[in-house]
A and B are shown apart, each in its own frame.
Chain A
């Protein structure tokens, strides 16, 4: 037979209950909190480290800078060998090879820009961007940017660049196969020994660090959209300068 609770035992029980309430009963808050905090920190740090290492792996370690660019982070001068007319302004073009709007811009303005560059009426500088890789979870922008700089070694940057934009994938993010890229090089007139050098350069991602550096520096300069066109340092409003004639007029106005 169970003992009837006396006044003394029920008082003790009340004390035990009070103590349990105070300590919070159940699981230990501090232990659970510590576990959650540690897991959270590990997850965040691991995420950051993995992202950084993926980026390193993708870009590689080559430190080569193409002859047409002064240094890492600086744009590629497409008409470096052309004698510029007095007071010719610089036309900076920020493009990502995967950007459909860039292809549209090139179709409308490309030939005019090439003409101005060949005539020395502008200093034509390309800044290759790769930010669409980050959005689309691809590497096509970087791979194609590197391939274009490899084409520059053969003196064929502009034709390679134009060929790529004439052969955009049906869907943004789909990119190009390596066989397609090789055909672009051939179409751009890279053959024989130059073609072998181009292939090596593509395989070794010789200019990937450089292409990533122009992405970084342009993003630092606030260029987060493509195509962005800067004439003599001023961003052109492509809604205002919408046809070749408008561009030619703007270049003339910017020539000192």
Chain B
């Protein structure tokens, strides 16, 4: 065959392959009604990755129950990596082919939900007044952070940041473990005594910067009022304001006094820093109250009798000084590419139902957003104490939860820079303010 003929044939074949396929013959049977067609719901989260953990097991059990109760619905529950979760989500939402988009996504409450707003449906048609009244956390899942606003996600858990301490280690160091150090000076004195044992004061994992963010969320309650926090978010209070400075000054002080374990800057927060604490190599650990790294998980290793929880040591006695930050737990949302939003919401409601609020507390050791749980199930002394703080009005919010992600990222990086001696407090505050200013300008421009 002549080369010219061969080439022509090839190009014709290529053109044929690229051309539109012939239209299918007209359907002779009507399309089945949506209600009777089998439905597959794809759910993405970061907890289903590990079914050996209580929360993974809890979700797996709920999926089985849901499918048994809804024979027409098949669940495709995909566990994604927590570290890269939002990057994966972004890549999927940005892809031209939306067929791979999940129906239901787990999101952290706060700015993470609002960042994804273009990809989520408003849940207004599904969230009834009763449904809303039974749950807390709507201020972090609704548009404009308005608890009565348009809901974008359903809160499932209540999260918070608590200073956990190892009673046995404190006792060994000569610190009265029945009265955890409440003031900054007492805290530093306790750490100094622990260090004499050859142990570390605080177990820190600052590789990803999460610990720095937790520190900020815990420490701001010591020097700023709620009004200050709102002003900081709105930009009417600057990050360079002297009232903000103690957050960074105390962080630097902890570092300067050698309160952390060796290698804290390259230690991942999950699970390595927690393991340092659970091994008994550090006396304090900034942990959570739900999901992971919380009173149940820590207590199971070091013994609930050896575990204590406290709020951030008081910088200067005053209003709000003994509060602890809550918020930022997980919530579920429905993506706008879901073909079955009703069923997707039904699944979310099933996960956050009264019965599962009980099992969430009992089996996972987490605080449910659904307040219709049986309080008698709470037997752990630390859980009781934390619940007591909440009912006593000692729950504040997390400072970063309503901040643009770029500001949170800058805060993490600047904490790393302070801890590694690359900047001072003033430099860090100015750098964060510059990013915040840029974000405000962007928001204004939009």
Task: Answer yes or no: do A and B interact.
Answer: no
Interface residues of B (CB under 8 A from A): none
Interface residues of A (CB under 8 A from B): none
